[in-house]
Structure 1
């Protein structure tokens, strides 16, 4: 194990990056890799669609985040992050391996294993968020959030593309085994770190209700919903719209797969640099202005006749980059609101609000597109993006105590 005194920022970033990549590998496996493999094996889409229910576990992880943080943070100032992560990753890896060992037992068994994976991963995510908030200085938090979001994109490649590639060549058991091994391997840097003690302080009565009663947290949750709403509508409709517009399915897959990852990594880097150079509040304003521009152009291009597929494809990829930058800058800003008594639990509220925003936008966007057409929904997304800079400024005033309402 590393000595406590040698716990430097690069080690923290490597350790956290490994965990975030592992968690996203499980997410990519659940929502990208498995659906493709199951469809190739002949499973009906109605059954494959049940996998999306696993997202609810992630959306409601705040319900058990407080006990996780109370266990992780010892009364004497010590931390149990490594133990928490190791236990959770062993459970998650066993469930991933179980997908290969019990592949012939049908969808119900698979859903149970996926639920176990999701619960373990969401628990680990809470612990790692707390670790990142505690160990990365606020002035360098942009770097931490680059690792957080960038690890997410790398994990999606592993759980989505790599799993499918191995499955196609070597079968289900081999693909699941490799994924389980990767999850454990990427956990090693954090598990081997010995965290320095953080001076113990008098704990205040915490919990979710205590966090939700704070005006700065209320403003932060409103901030993430307003900041993400417009982009979430575009995100969920990009693929279906391009298919309906006549873009070949292979190109749609390339754009939403490799294009999404490349744009996401570029946006992650840009968002991190913006936080370092401007500070998180101003970086959020910059990204919000970028969203107005890109979503506005998308709405205009979608309403054109004839539609320019080249222009639309480029704008969708650009919006993916803006969204990735948005994750970095907003997470960096809102991590600052986390209480030192339960940082991972407080931040789980932010992530749950983000996930629920995506779920509502996905459902309502699909319904509205079916009733009124894609251009109307893109215009709605642009309308939602337009007031965001003003909303952010108002909510920053609430957070800083400059506003009484």
Structure 2
């Protein structure tokens, strides 16, 4: 039964925020906590690296997004977003329970489990993003993206931080059981929320071809790639840089966990307010300029040596959590604006997949540059790239081209009952 009162924009933002927290709990457990637990049980580093296969569903989810979107938006009748989220969430929870039973030391079994969980979570993400674009008016996009980015920081802190504490005190099986229960609780507000009014007929058939045929969507893919490169590539070496600067692992854990969550969540909320007031383009440009300055400061600290650790920690928090949260709230608001509401799950997924692909590639390149030329070269090149990206971002993030008259009529007829 649907819960009354959950059809307001605020309730919808909180509902999708719960899903984003849950997805990031899974990512935190997989990429933050699981490698540490495996290492503690004596597994080799090359074997532990196999856990990163779980990133593949997030990179490749655009391949099955059309099928998910066609199921989610039938020719007639209400959206099936909630049923997708329900089934996908239960698969994720069951996967965590199974992972708790097989144990972190059983490498083949745990990799198979996390791949299934990642596949289910990435599919839920398609439905969640599509529902957010459909249900939230343009003026509420910033808050929706604040929930997305803020939820990511909160979920990562739970999955990579709290989970390890639970493992230490309760054991692997009980910790995984609690994470599974938390996923179910986080998904309930969305599953129990009422479906929006359904149009009488949906003539549009969602497809990748329809997405890639739109020039503004192709421009958005370029923007996604550029922004991921400028905001993330330099940050991949921040942890090793702080360790080599003398910061111990315990302190680094506090910085990445509690500090990163607090700063990231606060800046995500600030980003949502700024996007609502000024739009996404100026906020993205501001974040690029700030990140360029932060990266330049990191490069200078490596070249000059002797920079106080307190300053480096503060700079790391500002750049990796604060500025990135601010910028990505604005970027995802741009993604929402670029997505065709008739197939938002496909369009938004394409843009996110480009982000994930470029981020993965950049991690390899940043490591090679740092190894051969030093951290200063990595941070300095990233700062220069961020500065040069400002005018390109301003051009690529211009207002999306309106739909053609034929497309506009179709979209209005399909969405009028939903947006009213």
Range of TM-score over shorter length:
over 0.9
In structure 1, runs of 5+ residues without a counterpart are: none
SS in 1 for 2:342: coil
Contact 2:337 2:400 in 1 (8 A): no
SS in 1 for 2:203: coil
1:109 has 2:109 as partner: yes
1:147-296 residue pairs with structure 2 within 5 A? 147-296=147-296
Separation (CA, whole Å) in 2 of partners of 1:153 and 1:307:
28
Contact 2:24 2:156 in 1 (8 A): yes
In structure 2, runs of 5+ residues without a counterpart are: 403-420
User: What whole-Å deviation, never above 9, does each CA across 1:29-48 have from its counterpart, x for those lacking one?
Assistant: 10112112222222222211
Q: Which residue of 1 aligns with 2:361?
A: 360
Contact 2:280 2:330 in 1 (8 A): yes
Separation (CA, whole Å) in 2 of partners of 1:237 and 1:266:
24
Is the deviation greater in 332-341 or in 298-307?
298-307
Separation (CA, whole Å) in 2 of partners of 1:323 and 1:385:
12
Q: CA deviation at 1:213?
A: 2.4
RMSD: 1.8
Q: Which residue of 1 aligns with 2:124?
A: 124
Q: CA deviation at 1:374?
A: 0.7
Aligned length: 401
1:340 has 2:341 as partner: yes
Separation (CA, whole Å) in 2 of partners of 1:4 and 1:26:
29
In structure 2, do the counterparts of structure 1 residues 2 and 335 end up closer, same or farther at CA, with 3 Å as the change threshold? Answer: same
Is the deviation greater in 255-264 or in 160-169?
255-264
Q: Which residue of 2 aligns with 1:396?
A: 397
Q: Which residue of 2 aligns with 1:381?
A: 382
Q: CA deviation at 1:22?
A: 1.0
Is the deviation greater in 288-297 or in 123-132?
288-297
Q: Which residue of 2 aligns with 1:328?
A: 329
Contact 2:38 2:104 in 1 (8 A): no
Separation (CA, whole Å) in 2 of partners of 1:161 and 1:48:
18
Separation (CA, whole Å) in 2 of partners of 1:273 and 1:241:
33
Separation (CA, whole Å) in 1 of partners of 2:24 and 2:149:
10
User: What whole-Å deviation, never above 9, does each CA across 1:198-254 have from its counterpart, x for those lacking one?
Assistant: 424553343113212211011111112212212212221011011112222322222
Q: CA deviation at 1:256?
A: 2.2
Contact 2:160 2:257 in 1 (8 A): no
Q: TM-score, normalised by structure 2?
A: 0.91
Q: Which residue of 2 aligns with 1:82?
A: 82
Separation (CA, whole Å) in 1 of partners of 2:378 and 2:357:
19
